Structure 1
Amino acid sequence: MTDSQHISVYREFCENRLVEILDGKGTRSLYFGGQYLQSRMALHAPHLLLLPYTHYMMFSLLLARKIERVLLIGLGAGSLVRFLHHHFPTCVIDAVDNSERIIKLAKGYFQLPTSHAIRVHCLDGNRFFEVAEPEIEYDMILLDAFDETGMATHIYAEPFIRSCATFLASGGLLISNLWSGGTRPAQDFDAELAPILPGGLLLPVPERGNVISIRSHHQPDWRRICRGKEQLLQLEKHYHIDFPQMVKVAMRHNLSIGQRLARLFSL
């Protein structure tokens, strides 16, 4: 991936895959397999989310009733951990990744915060649920377990999703980064979630291969999503995320024309 606009700061074969870290134009990026961008960080503001799919995962902020405890399956370079810890510093975050080397890179190269509120676990996701305290309930569970071959098959599977639902708070959200370009369509996987978590939204990320699934024990509250324009603009300014545009995408892909018109006229 190196070229005249990028400086290589790390490169090695790690666990049978090429892992590279490149700097360029004020950013630091993590690549797998020589071409697959996994994460990107702004060196001047590490808490900012730079990749579009992470913005759409944080669409869930419109629906979250509270954000006191979060579970992230798939740490990568830690973009979502940095973002959540910056905006919700007292939130307890459990970040799970089965690669000790990737965890070390996140800490050593991507400014993963050090805090009593952040607990990093070098475990397989299924093993984490086996050893987790059964009384724990998460307000958000974020699935972002990818490598250069696509979605981690043992994570994006019905048994694992049932474990997620067990540890999800009553008003909690399961947010999954799906890849529509894979051999398994995102919509098919999301349909398998419906019997487990009946309330849901699908958010295709414009001009990207990602589709974000947001699932819950309850149907989504569209009054929280379709807020007034000024409220959405304030959220956009605060989080540096284009909430007005994401609301349009959510309505277009999850509501009928009649439902959309009813929502627009109710604002």
Structure 2
Amino acid sequence: MQGPYLSEHGQYVSLHFGGSTTDGVHATMDRTAPFDLVFSYTQIMAGFARFTPLPRTIGMLGLGGGSLAKHCYRQFPNSRIVVAEISAAVIALRRHFLIPDDDDDRFSVLHMDGAALLSKNTNTFDVILVDAFNEAGHLPHFATRAFYRECYGALTTGGTLVLNFSGERWRSSFKRLHRTFRGHIVLYQCPDGDNVIVFATKGPLPQWLTGRVGSSAANPHR
């Protein structure tokens, strides 16, 4: 399979993985507004701020085109952001998407499997964002009970896990997530695609979600 590559169309630059989605596009940046979230699923994932408003530490599994990483970097200036990306080829493209070039105490991109990042950081992250795909699609080991336990253990008390699922995979994972996070789960179906975004909290869901718990499709931006 073809590895990651770029395409440019006017003001837009996109990241592709050959054959892994309908059109192979995994991220797009508008050069005139490089910090904007172009895809609706990333806008929904950014709704984690309704669950955890002032995260001190954000863990991200999957760098891609860096849309969420840049969003968090700008929106949460007091947060530490750690990104795990397993593909060196993806990391090598970071400059094309205006992702901060140099790692420092506030922002770092680690060449490693995201599951390994979680296992090394117990009770560390206030927010964990999982948006990890490769040429074959969604990474299957990121949909296991063991992985969800790692996520739960890596979150601080009251922390929020956000996962991007594409297609119907979330259905087979829901029971495992529900059991691990004790039912503190909200699902949101993207309006313009087959992505389902899952919010799971390590503790009770926030009060603004009263009456819309479990498998309800609550909009985190409302």
TM-score scaled by length of structure 2? 0.86
How far did residue 191 of structure 1 move? Answer: 2.3
Question: 1:174 touches 1:216 (CA, 8 Å); kept in 2?
Answer: yes
CA deviations 1:114-145 (Å, max 9, x no partner) are 45211111011222234x244x5211001111
- 1:159 is matched with which residue: 142, 146, 149? 146
- 1:52 is matched with which residue: 28, 36, 40? 40
CA deviations 1:186-223 (Å, max 9, x no partner) are 13312211111121100000120100000012232242
1:3 aligned partner: none
1:123 aligned partner: 112
| In structure 1, C-alpha distance between the alignment counterparts of 2:134 and 2:217, rounded to whole Å | 33
| In structure 1, C-alpha distance between the alignment counterparts of 2:204 and 2:30, rounded to whole Å | 35
2:164 aligned partner: 177
Q: 2:77 matched to 1:89?
A: yes
Q: 2:180 matched to 1:191?
A: no
1:37 aligned partner: 25
| In structure 2, C-alpha distance between the alignment counterparts of 1:213 and 1:32, rounded to whole Å | 23
1:98 aligned partner: 86
TM-aligned CA distance change 1:105 to 1:71, over 3 Å? same
Larger radius of gyration: 1
| In structure 1, C-alpha distance between the alignment counterparts of 2:217 and 2:99, rounded to whole Å | 38
Structure with larger RCO (C-alpha < 8 A, sep 6+): 2
How many positions carry a matched residue from both structures? 210
| In structure 2, C-alpha distance between the alignment counterparts of 1:111 and 1:201, rounded to whole Å | 32
Letter in 1 for 2:111: C
Q: 2:186 matched to 1:201?
A: yes
Question: 1:32 touches 1:148 (CA, 8 Å); kept in 2?
Answer: yes
How far did residue 157 of structure 1 move? Answer: 1.5
- 1:146 is matched with which residue: 110, 123, 133? 133
TM-score scaled by length of structure 1? 0.72
Relative to its length, the structure with more helix (as a share) is 1
What runs of 5+ residues in structure 1 fail to find an aligned partner? 1-15, 227-249, 257-267
TM-aligned CA distance change 1:133 to 1:175, over 3 Å? closer
| In structure 2, C-alpha distance between the alignment counterparts of 1:255 and 1:94, rounded to whole Å | 29
Q: How does 1:2-81 map to 2 (within 5 A)?
A: 16-33=1-18, 35-81=23-69
How far did residue 32 of structure 1 move? Answer: 1.1
TM-aligned CA distance change 1:124 to 1:187, over 3 Å? same
| In structure 2, C-alpha distance between the alignment counterparts of 1:219 and 1:90, rounded to whole Å | 25
TM-aligned CA distance change 1:255 to 1:222, over 3 Å? farther
Letter in 1 for 2:80: V
What runs of 5+ residues in structure 2 fail to find an aligned partner? none
